[in-house]
Structure 1
């Protein structure tokens, strides 16, 4: 598993950094409260490891099609309805509350805004450096009173966890997942664990823009599958952003080694082997869709060490 680096965690935003809350939509206060499994297209047709989870939501295949429906790209394969923990209700409009980096240091909602802003600022620069245009993607917060969300990829609920829908180019996030990351998945938690999760999902957006998702084809499961390679590349892209984050102007200084350890802990916690041991008591590599804990740590680390998206070729050679 991951190694502890030590050193104080800081992840401080620059107090005067200007936040752009328009990149994050908050729908948590909308609609009646609903619980349960939601209504994913084709949900239940392909259970995970005999646990009855919805492979459609969590497979991480981006714009690929299954049963004629676009698939969502999620962080994990662990989709277990009935374990919902409500996220805190929003307190006011994001545009009113999240204006400067100092706000991001005081509020989880504003921290997400700052993280999204920094990630997209980096990818805009990276794309421009390669004579390409980066198209921003919004993050939609749901949960609280609204535990289900409608997307262009179908309906999802809070049990799905964070995911990216290429059909509407949005990242969907219920903040209650960060509690689950610690209590259910056994991760260390902390601000940078949250940043890793968001950066991973934006890695899928980058793959969508670059057309990488088409490389998966029907290779959707297995230890060396295209699905696993896609997910590990998103982990690598998350590490690339972490290396370059201070250059985006949103942070006071490079992340500490303890910050990075939070990301490694989160990556290890959502490895296929770790989740399978917890949910079914044994490991079945033929059912992998995201990669092992060691692989997820490895590829995040490669991205972080080099800070170069060109180092994230998970589709060539061994992984």
Structure 2
């Protein structure tokens, strides 16, 4: 993706180097560190990514100190020192966010609506959010309570090294997916889905969650189409997005984590479904084509 000369977003909040702390009722740190490596780490990753988006406070299990990024102490303060690679990732993230702003401002205007731009928070290790305590292990997530997307840039490296996805356009897909949740929030889709979930059992509630996630993938595909229309895509970009969609499918993550797949517990969709819905958005560029809730 050719992005270097494109506009940067002003809606980026940089918290890297700042430590978020979860507290119990006594004002002391709560919980215990979670493992990020091996099969147990992958198993927890499947759970916490979904839980973080749904606004659950993961404080009891997510209060470990995680050594992400390059930090140094100076005059009693913690100063974050980014590597050249991370600086480039931060620049790209700002550009990708700006591209989502351009897309959704125009689309909302076409519908006689006003798009409210979200903030993207870059943090390192852990941070506090209006949806509870956030950690890098949760992956990128959107919090509707404060209309912010939270991202530890180390996820890009983990995506490439541990999950088999990567590349700048793939990173953009991840951002566009989370912004897709913001679009759902503004359109009232998320609230309606929550109401539907409250009336069904857990298995059916999981299926509704999958529909929400696949729609966000479809919205990310619309973003990808807008990038193509600006002639900014390289030949390998679509395959990067497809590899990433496959890497974060519920079936693949569960297979890696515990060797078995439990479809009733899916919350994000299979690798195939995630690829198909991204491409539906990419090929059509249509919000109407992203109506996952009418699909059985």
TM-score normalized by the length of structure 2: 0.78
Q: Deviations over 1:144-182 (max 9, x none)?
A: xxx211000001111111000000000000010111112
1:24 pairs with 2:44? no
Q: For 2:228 and 2:144, locate their aligned partners in 1 and report how far apart those are by CA, in whole Å.
A: 28
C-alpha distance 206-180 of structure 1, shift in aligned 2 (>3 A): same
- Structure 1 pair 168–179 and aligned structure 2 pair: CA distance change class (3 A): same
Residues 224-269 of structure 1, C-alpha deviation per residue, up to 9 Å, x if partnerless?
A: 711000000000000001101355xxx6x14234101111111110
Root mean square deviation of aligned Cα: 3.4
Shift in alpha-carbon separation, 1:290–1:52, aligned structure 2, 3 A: closer
Q: For each residue in 1:81-112, what CA deviation from the matched residue of structure 2 results, as whole angstroms up to 9, or x when unmatched?
A: 989672456558xxxxxxxxxxx9x8221111
1:232 and 2:209 matched:
no
Does 1:12 find its partner at 2:8?
no
Q: 1:134 aligns with which of 115, 124, 128?
A: 115
Kindly tell me the number of residue pairs found equivalent between the two proteins: 265
User: What is the DSSP-based 3-state SS (H/G/I as helix, E as strand, rest coil) of the residue aligned with 1:136?
Assistant: coil
165 and 150 in structure 1: CA distance in 2 versus 1, 3 angstrom threshold:
same
| 1:208 CA displacement | 0.3
Q: Find the counterpart in structure 2 of residue 197 from structure 1.
A: 174
- Per-residue CA deviation, residues 51-87 of structure 1 (Å, 9 max, x unaligned), is 873877422695x6xxxxx349xxxxxx999896724
Structure 1 residues 194 and 50, CA, compared in 2 at 3 Å: closer, same or farther? closer
Q: Which has the higher helix share?
A: 2
Gaps of 5+ in 1: 1-10, 44-48, 65-69, 73-78, 93-103
Distance 1:302 1:229, change over 3 A: same
Conserved 8 A contact 2:248-2:271: yes
* Number of the residue aligned with 1:4: none
What 5-or-longer segments of structure 2 have no aligned partner?
Answer: 23-28, 35-39, 72-79
Query: Counterparts of 1:211-222 in structure 2 under 5 Å?
Result: 211-216=188-193, 217-218=196-197, 221=203
2:275 paired residue number = 297
Instruction: For residue 53 of structure 1, give the secondary structure of its aligned residue in structure 2.
Output: helix
Of 109, 114, 130, 2:90 maps to 109
CA contact (8 A) 1:221 1:227 kept: no
How many angstroms does 1:308 deviate by? 1.1
What's 1:58 paired with? 49
For residues 236 and 65 of structure 2, the distance between their equivalents in structure 1, rounded to whole angstroms, comes to 30
Query: Pairwise mapping of residues 66-145 of structure 1 onto structure 2 (< 5 A)?
Result: 70-71=55-56, 86-87=68-69, 107-143=88-124
Once the 2 structures are TM-superposed, how far is the Cα of residue 19 of structure 1 from its aligned partner? 2.3
| Greater RCO, CA 8 A, separation 6+ | 1
